[in-house]
Structure 1
Amino acid sequence: MSEPTVDSSRMRTLVHSDDLDETREIISSAYSPYELRVLDNAQGFSAWYAEGGFPGVTLSALSYGAETLVAPEPLTSYLLVCQVVHGSVRVLSPGREERVVDAGDTYVLDPYRTFRVHWAPGARMTTIRLSRDTVERAAADALGFEEPVRARFTLGGAVSSAAAGTWAGISAAVQREVLDGGIARTSPLLASQLTRTAAAALMEAHPLITPDPEIRHTGAVAHPAVRRAMQLIEEQADQPLTLSDLACAARLSPRALQEAFRQHLNTTPLTHLREIRLERAHRELLAADGDGRVTVTQIAYRWGFSNLGRFAASYQHRFGNPPSQTLRT
């Protein structure tokens, strides 16, 4: 029995066997307890399983050499994004959905229901495992909720070809880090960023089932998030803040933060930042002596206005006179 053509030099092989009971025991320990049955040609059964990863992500590779049924118990604490790399599998959630997944396609197994997966002989798959907590926080960001959200997914593929391409790129980056021995293993910051990016990309790429109606939406809970962004603006308005910086402070996705600002302040985060900077520049111009030691250019640059003409126009629109006149007052 030969291993699948996957560069496993950076992965740990846990199963390379034609023993059904041994395979069931080891993979149950790696994932969760599950039923494993050979449906046809028991003599042809074989299994190969290897895994690797970095903090926050586990990458696995798995192959069965005979027609096989896998029926795991609910995953409970994690989620799997599965990509078929050879052959096909038929995955179903009893009484709900069923889908045949061919090579190159992906599907998601979430922690909240049971699944059955029928493997065609020789099918191979890779999985990216993310913790339930990571995915639930990403779902909250994507949907504009303050608290973590039960992230339940349909068995459908990516929502569009563009989304599929984005997920493929993120998945490839994760696999490179594992298979090529990247620095995510030893860099907690990079591991954390890549894990969050993978979870955020998953939210955009695969169809979520609408959350339970009792979960409060942005309209009910966005004030704390908006306040967090506003606090960062108040404290660091002179710094080169980006929408991503504000969203990170708010613990929302950039899109959700923009929606929250529109709903509660009838503006956008960057417009609010610009208004605060204008106000700070106005205060400095009023406080300056006008003796030439302080210039409009210096104050404009200090508050992030690199285009002096645009600064002057915005300032006059806001305060009714040009900044040079305020400085001379």
Structure 2
Amino acid sequence: MAREVARTCFATRDQEEARGFLDRAYGTSLRARGELAGRSLRHERVSVGALAWEELVVPGELSYACDPLDRIVFSMPTEGLLDLEIAGQANRAGRGGIVLNTPGASFRGSSSDLTTEAITLDPTAVEKVALMPLDEHKGKVGFTGTRPVNTGEARRWLATTAYVRDVLTGPGAVTPLVAGELARLVAATALAAFPHHRGFPARAADRNDATGDTFRRVLEFIEDNAHRDISIADIAASVPITPRAVQYAFARHANTTPLAHLRRVRLARAHAELRAADPLTTTVTAIAAKWGFAHPGRFATLHRTTYGVAPSTLLRQAV
């Protein structure tokens, strides 16, 4: 069953209506000032679970004095200029630039004939990817900068978010597993691309907890819950141990990572379903999405590499 994808579109030439919409859309008082220069403000958003993609067109010159947001927002202008001062850090971004807005930080700025894409993310998605135990206090992971750490990571971020946009706005179903994988992909890429601190240090006990018994229990949990949207934090909580201990257990006993193992389990489930499915009532794309593989081409390559046969061929042979 596909997780509900919310799609909204808005356009107006009315100045007051535009300002009111911006406040509602971002859940804060932007206190926008300026003129739309007789053209339409336009906004499109596609959201599912912890993740959203949006595009905002703000013609003319506007300025903002904003209250803190409750989500992480990554702005990526495609036209015009965006100037933001976030927690004392000044940022100017044009086409190809990236600015990170962290939750809880007031900001102000201005825009000039701006068209920008943005990715917004629930902070808990980052905490889970950063190996935070589910019972730890929130706020242990914090971004300390508003720009990528280098040009290579900036390019990787833009390529990743373009892929996420294409999946969210494309015709395919966004299943619960696909939605979860996309959120974790964005969170992991953000942690690599932007400076941050993690308040949860490694502990000596994590390696001691990575026993054979722990590993067997973790494998059981994954086998029983591969159909659900689970993270390393969820896997760890089932034992319970820390997420780092789960990673140590897989490195020690299987020379792999927990998420790589989970992906193999899901691939095996998709393979079995392809063998048993009716090609008249289902498709490779639908089965791949059900098991968390958003990109049909990448799924086909992985399946062919693992099983020596294209998934489309296997489906056609199904009885």
Q: State the 4+ residue runs in structure 1 displaced beyond 6 angstroms.
A: none
The residue type equivalent to 1:257 in the other structure is: R
For residue 127 of structure 1, give the secondary structure of its aligned residue in structure 2: strand
- CA offset at residue 91 of structure 1? 0.8
Once residues 155 and 246 of structure 2 are traced to their aligned partners in structure 1, the CA distance between those partners, rounded to angstroms, is 26
| Structure-2 residue corresponding to 1:139 | 130
- Root-mean-square deviation (CA), in Å? 3.7
For the 8 Å contact 1:91–1:99, the answer to whether it is kept is yes
* Counterpart residue type for residue 51 of structure 1: R
Distance in 2 separating the partners of 1:52 and 1:191: 12
TM-score, length basis structure 1: 0.61
Alpha-carbon displacement from aligned partner over 1:273-321 (angstroms, at most 9, x marks no partner): 47xxxxxxxxxxxxxxxxxxxxxxxxxxxxxxxxxxxxxxxxxxxxxxx
User: Structure 2: how far apart are the matches of 1:139 and 1:26?
Assistant: 34
Look up the equivalent residue of 1:234 and give its one-letter code: R
User: Equivalences for 1:178-197 in 2 at 5 Å?
Assistant: 178-184=168-174, 187-197=175-185
Return the alpha-carbon distance in structure 1 between the equivalents of residues 236 and 56 of structure 2. 39
**1:187-233 deviation digits (Å, cap 9, x = unpaired):** 1111111111111111111111x35xxx442227x63x863775452
| Distance in 2 separating the partners of 1:164 and 1:58 | 19
Determine whether 1:87 maps to 2:80: yes
Question: Contact 1:73/1:114 (CA < 8 Å) preserved in 2?
Answer: yes
Deviation at 1:152, TM superposition (A): 3.0
Distance in 2, matches of 1:182 and 1:61, equals 20
Would the alpha carbon gap of residues 193 and 33 (structure 1) be closer, same or farther in structure 2, given more than 3 Å must change? same
- The 8 Å contact of residues 38 and 45 in structure 1, kept in 2 or not, is answered as no
User: How far does residue 42 in structure 1 lie from its aligned partner after superposition?
Assistant: 6.2
Partner of 2:193: 205
Task: For residues 14-62 of structure 1, give each alpha carbon's deviation from its aligned partner in whole angstroms, at most 9, with x where no partner exists.
Answer: 2x222221112222122112234334x5654641111113232111111
The verdict on how the C-alpha distance between 1:237 and 1:56 changes in structure 2, with shifts beyond 3 A counting, is closer
Residues 90, 100 of structure 1: 8 Å contact kept: yes
Aligned position for 2:111: 119
Relative to structure 1, is the Cα distance of residues 258 and 85 closer, same or farther in structure 2, using a 3 angstrom cutoff? farther
Instruction: Give the one of 9, 12, 15 matched to 2:8.
Output: 12
Q: Is the 8 A contact 2:215 2:250 kept in 1?
A: no
Counterpart Cα distance in 2 of 1:236 and 1:66: 55
SS in structure 1 at match of 2:92 = strand
SS at match of 1:87: strand
Farther off after superposition, 130-139 or 96-105: 130-139
Q: Which position in structure 1 is the counterpart of 2:260?
A: none
Query: Does 2:84 correspond to 1:97?
Result: no
The one of 36, 41, 47 equivalent to 1:47 is 41
Secondary structure class of the residue paired with 1:35:
coil
How far 1:164 moved relative to its partner?
1.8
**Residue matched to 2:296:** none
Structure 1 residues 182 and 53: CA distance shift in structure 2, 3 A: farther
Match of 2:216, as an amino acid? E
1:155: how far off?
A: 4.5
| Deviation, structure 1 residue 90 | 0.8
Overall identity of the aligned pairs, in %: 19
> Which position in structure 2 is the counterpart of 1:175?
165
Query: Contact 1:38–1:66 (CA<8 Å) still a contact in 2?
Result: no
**Structure 1 residue 109, shift from structure 2 partner:** 0.8
Q: Which runs of 5+ in 1 are unaligned?
A: 1-9, 262-267, 275-329
* Mapped partners of 2:141, 2:127: distance in 1: 6
- Letter of the structure 1 residue corresponding to residue 84 of structure 2: V
What is the TM-score normalised by the length of structure 2? 0.63
Structure 2 SS opposite 1:152: strand
Change (3 A) 1:38 1:57: same
2: distance between equivalents of 1:51 and 1:129?
10
Look up the SS of the partner of 1:183 in the other structure: coil
- Quickly say closer, same or farther: Cα 1:155–1:21, change in 2 above 3 A: farther
The whole-number CA distance in structure 2 between the counterparts of 1:236 and 1:64 is 49
Are the aligned partners of 1:46 and 1:65 in contact in 2 as well (CA < 8 Å)?
A: yes
Q: Who is 1:227 aligned against?
A: 209
The answer to whether the Cα contact below 8 Å between 1:140 and 1:147 also exists between their aligned partners in 2 is no
* Match for residue 56 of structure 1 among 31, 41, 50: 50
CA distance in 1, matches of 2:12, 2:80: 20
Select which of 90, 96, 102 maps to 1:110: 102
Q: Does 1:66 align with 2:60?
A: yes
> Contact 1:72/1:114 (CA < 8 Å) preserved in 2?
yes
